[in-house]
């Protein structure tokens, strides 16, 4: 072919693509109405009214959506409104009159009308081209947008005339595609209330009101009373009712408010209202992860609730909801629970819906329900910037954000805030107030109780004969309790060994997999060359010999790596124990350090006194060091510390060797120090709260102690005091 034009292909979309946009990309009728409301906002309207005209059954009825915005000139309708997926709002992100940031950008919102009804009419008055002009499209019949026609073949009639009427747009949607029941109308009313931010500014520039007119909806015409749904004096008078945002339930037990800057640094306040405490300043820095993208500035305000009946009823009474039963109070909290996301004053659906747990709070709570906050215990909002500044991109369906790095980042910012600020402070308060059981009891404390000291003291008033019988009975019970406690302690020791091994499983796989894989693959390769070593000398013999000469040393190296790895893990295996023994603690330190050799942390040991002997059990010291080193590696990595460093020092004490384990990480806030050894207390997202408790209990079995150094100023420092003389340690 010589004709260049003949070598060109063009897309020819069928007319039904318009129906597809409306039907497939817009999830439901409520979402379609909200899209048209957002269009009114983008048109600089100060108000938009949604009116339902019965009968509201399928194939009948009418929905009218009117606004007082700048309207559309003929050029707007021809070049923008009639052009699917137009980029006009992408190119111009600020509205002309009120300087609003545009809500729309996909170029599909106008086709929400096709989702709602079979026909529509459009009337728009604009003064944007110098004279005030009215454009009327009497009817668009969506049924003509079928597979039989091309989009370019569909022609729409319109009328144009000058007018002195007010600017704005009226869209009439007729012959509804679905029946609007009472349930569906209540859902729309709630969606509209949730759409508007409860903290949206009311200044003249940004003020925007949404009205819902259900005055024509009665039991006779629709099967339900529209005025009862929207409520208010205006509803009774047959007038449109302004939609009020769902109020913030600020009468809560705990409140967090603050701001993340673009670097992930949070500054704000946390208040324990249930304890009558004032706001406390909090700061937190959350570095960017590899799979994340910056989210720009983010405002956060969260209200957290305890779900005990008395606390919940008191909060709702303080919110003006009157006296409720425990069941009613929990039902109300369930209905408002959720963390909403707002952008330019409007909620991004579906975040904030009671059933949308986008932060996966319930999944987090399964691991530790007494520490973690569930989805039905929190209400609040997060405010983000536009797409350009936040990198948060709304899906074409308007059902949430794309699952990109920025959305991952946003979720991590909030969950880290809960894990590092809210949840540990809440747990501390609840334990001190007696609302939760303290979890810091040690085996030594229980052993003291088994002595039954108070019962022995109470026997003083007995006669000698009775006293002898009672003491024998108490001795027998004391021995029985002590024996059972010893069995439980041994069982916990084995469980702790398993827990410690589980905590370092990632390091084991990282260090052990490459040499193990190399040994397996190389052995198979050498096996194939083995017969040629004993054949006739020649090319095959030389190749086989070369492979063996090259591979065997590497196999030896890989085998040594595995042997060293297993040797470092052996003290954590939880095997049977004999009597306490004298051992070199430096070897244990090096073995524990080697487990984390794949990290970027530099480990240093200082032993100026050349200490080589302590008395106890190697596995107790190894268990403690592995947990302490593992914690240090985690927090150094989490804080993105430059030149991360862990220093272990040894110095003599009175009958003990003092081990200092310190790092140059973020350290531990003084307010949390008294809780860090409690079972279940953790500042890690996804942590179990077992590590430090395991370390302390393991050391106690060798007569050693573990404490946090409050005087240390940079990073975290723990101190172990391990016996250096035989003290009759437990077996």
| pLDDT band at residue 1 under the 50/70/90 scheme | very low
Rounded Cα–Cα distance for residues 330 and 128 (Å): 52
**Main-chain phi, psi angles of 63, to 5 degrees:** -120, 125
Q: What is the pLDDT of residues 453-501, one digit of tens each?
A: 666 666 666 667 777 777 777 777 777 777 766 666 655 655 555 555 5
Q: Is 63 helix (H, G, I), strand (E, B) or coil?
A: strand
Q: Is the pLDDT of residue 518 over 70?
A: no
Domains 16-242 and 578-723 share a fold: yes
Helix axes 691-700, 464-503, angle to 10 degrees: 130
Asked if residue 595 lies in contact with residue 504, where contact means CB atoms within 8 angstroms, the answer is yes
Tokens of 383: 């405010």
| Sign of the Cα pseudo-torsion (592, 593, 598, 599, in order) | positive
The stretch 241-264 carries a mean pLDDT of 88
Residue with tokens 């603050």: 258
pLDDT of res. 532: 62
Decide if pLDDT at 439 tops 60.
no
Which tokens belong to 179?
A: 């029946």
State pTM to two decimals. 0.70
Residues paired with residue 50 on neighbouring β-strands, in sequence order: 65, 212
User: Confidence class of residue 362 from pLDDT cuts 50, 70 and 90?
Assistant: very high
* Region of poorest pLDDT, from 96-110, 430-444, 562-576, 659-673: 562-576
pLDDT at 237 over 70: no
pLDDT, residue 650, reads: 97
Report CA-CA distances (Å) from 728 to 260, 578, 616, 672: 54, 12, 9, 34
pLDDT score of 220: 94
Structural domain spans, the chain: 16-242, 254-432, 505-571, 578-723
3-state secondary structure at position 467: helix
Least confident of 168-172, 346-350, 634-638, 684-688: 684-688
* CATH number assigned to the domain with residue range 16-242, chosen from the 4 options 1.10.10, 3.30.1380, 2.60.40, 3.30.565: 3.30.565
pLDDT band, very low/low/confident/very high, at 205 (cuts 50, 70, 90) = very low
Question: Which token pair is 623?
Answer: 């268990």
């910037």: which residue's tokens? 385
User: How is domain 578-723 classified at the architecture level of CATH?
Assistant: 2-Layer Sandwich (3.30)
Contacts of 680 (CB under 8 A, 6+ apart): 368, 370, 371, 427, 439, 688, 689, 690
What is the number of other CB atoms lying within 10 angstroms of the CB of residue 374?
17
Rounded percentage of the chain residues whose pLDDT exceeds 90: 41
- Contact by Cβ (8 Å): 697, 488: no
Q: Which band of pLDDT confidence, cut at 50, 70 and 90, is reported for residue 128?
A: confident
According to DSSP, the β-strands at 117-126 and 168-176 are: antiparallel
For residue 145, what pLDDT is reported?
80
**Average pLDDT rounded to a whole number, residues 328-332:** 85
Specify the pLDDT at position 516.
63
Can you list the alpha helix ranges (DSSP code H) found in 596-701? 618-638, 691-700
Q: Which phi and psi angles does 345 have, rounded to 5°?
A: 90, 0
């Amino acid at each position: 072919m010589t004709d260049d034009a003949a070598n060109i292909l063009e897309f020819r979309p069928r007319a039904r693509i318009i129906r597809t946009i409306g039907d497939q990309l817009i999830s439901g009728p409520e979402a379609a109405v909200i899209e048209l409301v957002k269009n009114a906002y983008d048109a600089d309207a100060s108000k938009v009214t949604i009116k339902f005209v019965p009968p509201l059954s399928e194939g009948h009825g009418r929905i009218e959506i009117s606004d007082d915005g700048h309207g559309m000139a003929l050029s707007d309708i021809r070049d923008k409104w009639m052009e699917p997926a137009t980029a006009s709002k992408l190119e111009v992100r600020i509205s002309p009159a009120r300087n609003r940031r545009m809500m729309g950008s996909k170029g599909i919102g106008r086709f929400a009308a096709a989702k709602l009804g079979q026909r529509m009419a459009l009337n728009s008055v604009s003064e944007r081209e110098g004279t005030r002009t009215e454009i009327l499209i009497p009817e668009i019949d969506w049924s003509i947008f079928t597979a039989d026609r091309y989009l370019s073949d569909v022609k729409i009639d319109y009328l144009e005339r000058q007018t002195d009427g007010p600017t704005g747009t009226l869209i009439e949607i007729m012959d509804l595609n679905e029946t609007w029941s009472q349930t569906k109308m209540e859902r729309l009313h709630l969606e509209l209330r949730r759409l508007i931010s409860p903290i949206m500014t009311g200044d003249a520039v940004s003020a925007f009101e949404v009205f819902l007119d259900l005055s024509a909806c009665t039991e006779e015409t629709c099967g339900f009373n529209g005025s009862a749904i929207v409520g208010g004096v205006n509803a009774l008078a047959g007038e449109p009712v302004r939609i009020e945002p769902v109020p913030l339930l600020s009468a809560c037990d705990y409140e967090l408010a603050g701001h993340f800057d673009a670097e992930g640094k949070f500054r704000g306040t946390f208040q324990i209202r249930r304890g009558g405490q004032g706001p406390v300043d909090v700061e937190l820095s959350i570095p960017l992860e590899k799979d994340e993208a910056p989210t720009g500035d983010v405002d956060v305000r969260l209200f957290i609730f305890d779900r005990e009946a008395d606390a919940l009823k008191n909060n709702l009474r303080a919110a003006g909801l009157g006296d409720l039963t425990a069941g009613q109070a929990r039902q109300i909290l369930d209905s408002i629970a959720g963390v909403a996301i707002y952008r330019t004053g409007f909620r991004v659906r579906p975040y904030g819906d009671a059933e949308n747990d986008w932060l996966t709070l319930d999944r987090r709570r399964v691991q530790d329900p007494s520490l973690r906050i569930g989805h039905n215990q929190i209400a609040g909002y997060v405010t983000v910037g536009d797409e350009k500044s936040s990198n948060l991109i709304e899906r074409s369906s308007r059902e949430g954000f794309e699952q990109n790095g920025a959305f991952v980042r946003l979720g991590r910012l909030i969950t880290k805030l809960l894990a590092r600020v809210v949840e540990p402070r809440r747990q501390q308060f609840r334990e001190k107030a007696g609302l939760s059981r303290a979890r810091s009891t040690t085996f030594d404390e229980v052993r003291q109780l088994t002595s039954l000291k108070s019962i022995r003291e109470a026997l003083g008033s007995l006669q000698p004969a009775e006293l002898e019988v009672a003491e024998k009975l108490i001795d027998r019970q004391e021995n029985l309790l002590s024996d059972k406690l010893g069995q439980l302690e041994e069982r916990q020791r084995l469980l702790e060994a398993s827990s410690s091994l589980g905590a370092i499983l990632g390091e084991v796989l990282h260090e052990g997999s490459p040499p193990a894989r190399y040994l397996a693959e190389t052995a198979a390769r050498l096996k194939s060359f083995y017969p040629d070593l004993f054949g006739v000398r020649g090319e095959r013999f030389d190749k086989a010999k070369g492979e063996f000469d090259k591979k065997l040393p590497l196999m030896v190296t890989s085998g040594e790596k595995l042997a060293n790895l297993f040797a470092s893990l052996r003290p954590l295996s939880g095997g049977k124990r004999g009597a306490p023994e004298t051992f070199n603690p430096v070897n244990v330190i090096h073995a524990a350090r080697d487990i984390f050799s794949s990290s970027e942390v530099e480990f240093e040991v200082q032993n100026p006194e050349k200490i080589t002997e302590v008395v106890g059990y190697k596995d107790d010291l190894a268990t403690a060091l592995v947990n302490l080193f593992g914690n240090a590696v985690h927090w150094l990595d989490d804080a993105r510390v430059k030149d991360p460093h862990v220093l272990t020092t040894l110095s003599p004490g009175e009958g003990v060797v003092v081990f200092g384990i310190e790092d140059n990480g973020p350290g531990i806030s003084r307010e949390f120090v008294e809780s860090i050894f409690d079972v279940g207390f953790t500042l890690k997202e996804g942590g179990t709260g077992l590590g430090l408790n395991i370390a302390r209990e393991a050391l106690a079995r060798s007569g050693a102690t573990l404490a946090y150094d409050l005087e240390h100023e940079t990073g975290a420092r723990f101190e172990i005091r391990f016996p250096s003389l035989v003290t009759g340690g437990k077996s």
